[in-house]
Amino acid sequence: MIDVHVPVLVVGGGGAGLTASMLLSTYGVEHLVVSAMPTTSVLPKAHVLQQRAMEVLRDVGCAQRVYQAGTPRENMSHTAWYLDVAGSDFAGRLISKMECWDGGGADPAWVAASPCRQANLPQIRLEPLLKQRAEELNPGGVRFGNELVALEQDDSGVVATITDRGTGRQYRVRCEYLIGADGGRTVGTLLGVGMDGLRDVMRTVSIHMSADLSPWLHDPEVLIRWIVHTRYGGAFSVLVPMGPDSWGPDSEEWVVHMNFPPELEEQFDTDEKVLAVMRDRLGIPDFDPKVHMITRWSVEGLLATTTTIGRVFLVGDAAHRHPPTGGLGLNSAIHDVYNLCWKIAHVAQGKAGPALLSTYHPERYPSFARNTQRSIENALNHLAIIDALGVKPDLDAETCHDNVLELWDEGPVGHERRVAVAGVLASQSMEFKEHNVEYGFRAESSAVLTDGTPEPVNEDDVRIYQPGTRPGSPLPHAWVERTGERRALREVAPPTHWMLMAGEDGAAWCAAAVTAGAARGIDLAAFRVGHVGGDWLDPRLAFVRVHEFGRSGAILVRPDRVVAWRSFTPDGDPLARIGAALDRVLTRAG
């Protein structure tokens, strides 16, 4: 007996599942969210939210809440490396400081890339905001403490068996599609999906605590602090403020991450040992913080063997797991559901053929693989930094200490050490300036119609984002205006809509697009953009500089703000061409 019928069931109530819920609500898709957990996350976990992720949260009406609760920009403009924290005359000495992300709004490339700035908010505080908004959009449709225990599927849908952990009652949900956003705990296992990749690259223990570290810490602009220890054979620690009311050195809560090789696991196998090591590493013997939680985890880089199993789709940690370096985990999860949910909505609402859903895996899997690799590289490069400082496992503590102190030597030895370290430190901008990892993806599938143009040459495909309109690219950002109204280009139309953007002479494209969209039941906004002419004006030529299709061309943009089709010329019948493009992308018969 089926107790609940719903088009979509979302399993998991973390960042991926709750974002999926908000998107489905925005797209008008009835759905149910279930999570085995009694509450949202009790772990600090992820905290960095990239610009594109914030664009998604802005689409669903949640971004401003995140900014208000998150780190002020002046407290997250830099990252830095220090020699110890306390306990000696040299402790707390600054080794190097690096601008990170948008530099608190100082980096023009980041300001130009998006209407949203980078954000920072620990998951323990982010997820309640996401849950609140998901419940506002879908009252009664978010159920925590409800565990998926079995599922089966046929050609027309999925049947999930759910246990209410509060009452013990079991019920069955029949859905057309299921989104597995449970971190791989149940959905993937029930379907026999494995995870391949690197395991146990490094061990880490994390302590979430309330403590006053302000007597020893400085530099309020620094968010993440990398602490170099000369007495632990190449190990290092990371200090991350958690707020919630103050940030920088005055933060009320902190997470301390301490890495260690697997062979030293015995030194961390009890909480008492962990706290003893933390006191020793910090150099504060009487340090007595209020500990909220201690967790042990392994650095790994894993990819699901598949992400689409019939009518079930895996997103977030259920599809890919990688180190926190670079903050790519949660951000990737948000990108996953942004790619998937509009497709489910279109198919469920009869606007697209079922084959559209087969484009999720080929469009997202390359990003899974790249982000996992990038996260591993980010993590390993921190070890290279420690090595460049002369802190090596095979050297005694005194030698390691002397090697680091060479940084402040005024003679040729110091100069040589500073040059060597500076180069390795500069390379870590691959973690803190990975703008093209975020925006430089190219979606490739039948939902993107290539135009035969070559892939642009990029001198640095990690750090340098080159906006453009080549099909498969994210829509470039620009502020556009008309009669006193100012909007981000991506927000000229509601987030549920397709958009046809044409040059100043593209009126025929616009008229054709409106007709083609209406004939297919597609919400589609069409308009011309130009500097001196058009429906929307581009006063700084931000879009005109990069749109590439000239005064007479046009692009078709999907609801996830990915360019699906481009034409440089108005040759032929505009209505027929746009209609054909929509039918191909949406896998319609025409």
Distances (CA, A) of 102 to 58, 287, 409: 18, 35, 33
Q: Are strands 195-210 and 146-154 parallel, antiparallel or unpaired?
A: unpaired
DSSP H helical ranges for 138-191: 187-190
Q: What phi and psi values does residue 182 have, to the nearest 5 degrees?
A: -100, 20
Residue 492 and residue 346 in one domain? no
Residue 364 and residue 450 in one domain? no
* Domain termination residue (choose one: 358, 374, 390): 374
Q: Give me 2's structure tokens.
A: 């089926």
Residue 552 and residue 457 in one domain? yes
* Domain termination residue (choose one: 344, 374, 404): 374
**Residue 139: inside a domain:** yes
**Residue 236: inside a domain:** no
Q: What is the pLDDT of residue 269?
A: 87
Across 207-233, average pLDDT: 94
Residue 450 and residue 354 in one domain? no
Residue 315 and residue 449 in one domain? no
Residue 351 and residue 483 in one domain? no
Dump pLDDT digits (tens) for 228-279: 998 876 778 999 999 999 999 999 999 999 987 777 778 888 999 999 999 9
Q: What is the pLDDT of residue 336?
A: 97
HEC string of 511-537? HHHHHHHHHCCCCEEEEEEECCCCCEE
Rounded-to-integer distance, Cα 395 and Cα 400, Å: 6
**Residue 257: inside a domain:** no
Q: Which residues pair with 293 in a beta bridge?
A: 208
* Domain termination residue (choose one: 374, 407, 433): 374
**Residue 469: inside a domain:** yes
Which residue's structure tokens are 């924290």? 85
Residue 488 and residue 580 in one domain? yes
**Residue 262: inside a domain:** no
Question: Any residues with CB less than 8 A from the CB of 213 and at least 6 apart, and which?
Answer: 85, 239, 249, 251, 254
Residue 574 and residue 472 in one domain? yes
The percentage of the chain sitting over the pLDDT mark of 70, rounded to a whole number, equals 99
Number of H helices, E strands in the chain: 15, 25
Lowest mean pLDDT among 9-13, 212-216, 234-238, 438-442: 234-238
**Residue 85: inside a domain:** no
Residue 162 and residue 34 in one domain? yes
Nearest to 21 by CA among 118, 140, 155: 140
Query: How many structural domains does the chain have?
Result: 2
**Residue 161: inside a domain:** yes
Dump pLDDT digits (tens) for 80-131: 999 999 998 889 999 999 999 999 999 999 999 999 999 999 999 999 999 9
| Domain enclosing residue 180, as ranges | 4-71+118-194+301-374
Query: Which amino acid type is present at position 535?
Result: D
* Model confidence, pTM: 0.96
Dump pLDDT digits (tens) for 309-341: 999 999 999 999 988 888 888 999 999 999 999
Across 547-558, average pLDDT: 96
Instruction: Report which secondary-structure segment, H or E, holds 481.
Output: strand 479-482
Dump pLDDT digits (tens) for 23-54: 999 999 999 999 999 999 998 888 999 999 99
Distances (CA, A) of 235 to 68, 162, 199, 211, 274: 35, 44, 19, 23, 14
**Residue 312: inside a domain:** yes
The percentage of the chain sitting over the pLDDT mark of 90, rounded to a whole number, equals 83
Residue-averaged pLDDT of the chain: 94
Nearest to 73 by CA among 242, 223, 252: 223
Residue 360 and residue 482 in one domain? no
Residue 323 and residue 457 in one domain? no
Residue 344 and residue 467 in one domain? no
Rounded-to-integer distance, Cα 17 and Cα 178, Å: 11
Instruction: Report which secondary-structure segment, H or E, holds 571.
Output: none
Rounded-to-integer distance, Cα 40 and Cα 254, Å: 19
Nearest to 505 by CA among 571, 565, 573, 553: 553
Which CATH number does the domain housing residue 486 bear? 3.40.30.120
Q: Is 106 exposed, middle or buried (0-12, 13-18, 19+ CB in 10 A)?
A: exposed
Which CATH number does the domain housing residue 130 bear? 3.50.50.60
Rounded-to-integer distance, Cα 254 and Cα 239, Å: 7
pLDDT band at residue 1 using 50, 70 and 90 as cut-offs: low
